Structure 1
Amino acid sequence: MHKKALITGISGQDGSYLAEYLHTKGYEIHGADLSFSQLPLQVKNIIAGLYETDLTRPKLLKRLIQKIIPDEIYHLAAFHFSSQKNGNIQMPFEPFNSINLLATNEILDTIRHNFENCHFFYASSSHIFGKVDHYPQNEKTPYQPDSFYSITKAAGNELCKLYREYYGVYASVGILYNHESPRRPLSFVTSQIAEAAAKASLGMQVRLTLRDLNAIVDWGAAQDYVHAMWLALQQPCGDDYVIASGMPRRVHEFSRVAFDYVGLDANNFVFQEQATNTNKEFPHVGDSSKILSKCGWHPVISFNELVIDMVKAHIVRLTQKNQFSGYTKVGDC
């Protein structure tokens, strides 16, 4: 009999890749999200059920879980503002609380009272560590959340721990570091760089100005990270895991690889904001030793492969868009 999985936030990068991965494992997959307009068609075709769900109304999740009776729940939905830290400060607290915390509690409480054999995965974030005083960070690094997003994510971690230790719920937490893919929205700097390289390769005018080209980031591939999520739920007991590449990279390295792929010099297209103060804080870089040793996780997509795949995807998208709109390259007239 096929296992059933429910994925919240299935329309996002992680949700869609996780659905494809679980399909290869023979799962019956169900997805919940506010909209499915961004979900790739090839993913929609393998889903048993898609449910438009407003996660600011957590009680809807209880009814959905009771209807599906899943063996595994992957709670990937979250309210955040990409990598734009200020957005997390300026927005009201309520949507962060409803989606990141109250919805998490509703799922855990439903499992506790009705589905004791269900395994739960909670997608947390390295942002819970806030301003760190060392790197790399691991599962024992103290939380110092400094935004509504990171505060509610850290609280979600503690909820999972409480339900696991006091109620016997199988709850695993993945503390996810930055992970990218061709499905990353353009609100993220990595997609902006990849798109800029693609545009430049097609002869389009490009000038991309970024906040801090020297910022250090721990980047991995989303396809690898969803594999880690699945492995976390196949263990005898729930636990907390840092999921990261462990490799510090600078933003200008990402830019260089992207533009090198199309035979261009990134310095001619990507620029640093003049008024930016260089970040002197310790970077968020993760130590994944625990999930590597305990679960046997091994990422397979290299940094260069990740960047190049993103550029290739943008080239395809822009080429198709230009063919449809009758776009003419600069210099063709």
Structure 2
Amino acid sequence: MSKRALITGITGQDGSYLAEHLLDLGYEVYGLVRGQANPRKGRLSQLMKDLSFVGGDMMDQGSLVAALDAVQPDEVYNLAAISFVPLSWSQAELVSEINGTGVLRILEAIRIVSGLSTSRTATGGQIRFYQASSSEMFGEVAESPQHEATPFHPRSPYGVAKSFGHFITRNYRESYGLYAVSGMLFNHESPRRGLEFVTRKITCGAVNIKLGQQEKLLLGNMAAQRDWGYAGDYVQAMHMMLQQPEPRDYVIGTGRTHTVEDVARIAFEAVGLDWRDYVVIDPGLVRPAEVDTLCANPAKAQAELGWRPTVSFEELIQMMVDSDLSHTTKEQQYGHLQLAAAW
């Protein structure tokens, strides 16, 4: 009998890749969607005909209990979040509700549906839960590279909310014996990344400039360093975490850092241009509290899960440029977009 998985945030980048991966493994896959008019639901069902959907809202405890009761999943992957970090300063309360308290709501829903009491119980036969934690929790890093025991010092409301989600997941594991793990994933991108994120903003901007649809690209802190990998690799790590005998948290990343300038250089070179001729630094796009460098130490995941990235940074940026060039050339999809994404 095939396993059944419920994915929150299924219409996002990671949700779509994870759904594909689980379907390939023979899972029955259900996506939690908020409202029947979700604009991304149609695109996702076009991509994956075998998906099923169930209604639910990360701000509504009752709807989460009902969704879990209806689906009866073996595994729950909580990818639902407001994932654009700069937005968390202007909508801090909303981000905290979704990215922080929302994790508590779904954990409590699992506890209720599983019939767990306040005393610890064995993890066998329970719903297994994955929480999408974030490298932004490390923030102003105490050491580099960052591993599972590195202290958190988040520098944004997003990072603070994700830290709460991380710790409440651990608390439910320790309090109720729930099989619950957190993946501390470092930056991961793909052609499905939203246009507001800096990597996609750059690749799309380079293509638009090459095709004469845009003159300049506004960016903020070009010196910021991140550990960037391919989202398709990272969702496989999520699944691996839930297959282990004991629930443990893992850092997932490549162990290599690159700057925003590196992204721009490779993206513009891919279309035969020099980024320095087109990028304009806009001080208004600098974050109120910057995170300068994030770099993963994925040694534990490599040793215990056998996980390793398969796509290099250079291949990732080229992949994104090729995708943007293909879509723009065929459909003139992006036109003269003036993206206001902050970095």
Instruction: Give the TM-score normalised by structure 1.
Output: 0.89
1:119 aligns with 2:122: no
Residue 297 of structure 1 aligns to a residue whose secondary structure is coil
Indicate the RMSD between aligned Cα atoms, in angstroms: 2.3
Residue 173 of structure 1 aligns to a residue whose secondary structure is strand
Of residues 169, 182, 196 in structure 2, which corresponds to 1:160?
169
- The corresponding residue for 1:313 is 323
Q: CA deviation at 1:46?
A: 2.4
**Residues 250, 146 of structure 1: alpha-carbon distance in 2 compared, 3 angstrom cutoff:** closer
**Residues 145, 43 of structure 1: alpha-carbon distance in 2 compared, 3 angstrom cutoff:** same
CA distance in 2, matches of 1:128, 1:225: 18
**Residues 199, 8 of structure 1: alpha-carbon distance in 2 compared, 3 angstrom cutoff:** same
Q: CA deviation at 1:108?
A: 1.9
- The corresponding residue for 2:50 is 46
**Residues 320, 275 of structure 1: alpha-carbon distance in 2 compared, 3 angstrom cutoff:** closer
Gaps of at least 5 residues in structure 1 are 326-333
Instruction: Write out aligned runs for 1:178-189 (5 A).
Output: 178-189=187-198
Gaps of at least 5 residues in structure 2 are 115-124, 336-343
Instruction: Write out aligned runs for 1:285-324 (5 A).
Output: 285-322=295-332
Is the 1:232–1:238 contact (alpha carbons within 8 Å) kept by the matching residues of 2?
yes
Of residues 213, 235, 260 in structure 2, which corresponds to 1:226?
235
CA distance in 2, matches of 1:197, 1:204: 10
- The corresponding residue for 2:90 is 90
Letter in 2 for 1:258: A
Letter in 2 for 1:154: S
Residue 258 of structure 2 aligns to a residue whose secondary structure is strand
Is the 1:20–1:43 contact (alpha carbons within 8 Å) kept by the matching residues of 2?
no
CA distance in 1, matches of 2:137, 2:253: 14
Instruction: Write out aligned runs for 1:34-113 (5 A).
Output: 34=34, 35-37=38-40, 39-47=43-51, 49-80=52-83, 82-84=84-86, 87-93=87-93, 95-113=94-112
Q: Deviations over 1:60-98 (max 9, x none)?
A: 111100100000000000134x142xx3123242x2333
**Residues 280, 130 of structure 1: alpha-carbon distance in 2 compared, 3 angstrom cutoff:** closer
Q: Deviations over 1:138-165 (max 9, x none)?
A: 1101112233322221111111111112
CA distance in 1, matches of 2:219, 2:297: 27
**Residues 201, 146 of structure 1: alpha-carbon distance in 2 compared, 3 angstrom cutoff:** closer
Give the percent of matched residue pairs that are identical in Structure 1 and Structure 2.
38
After TM superposition, the structure 1 stretch with the greater mean CA deviation from structure 2, 235-244 or 64-73, is: 235-244
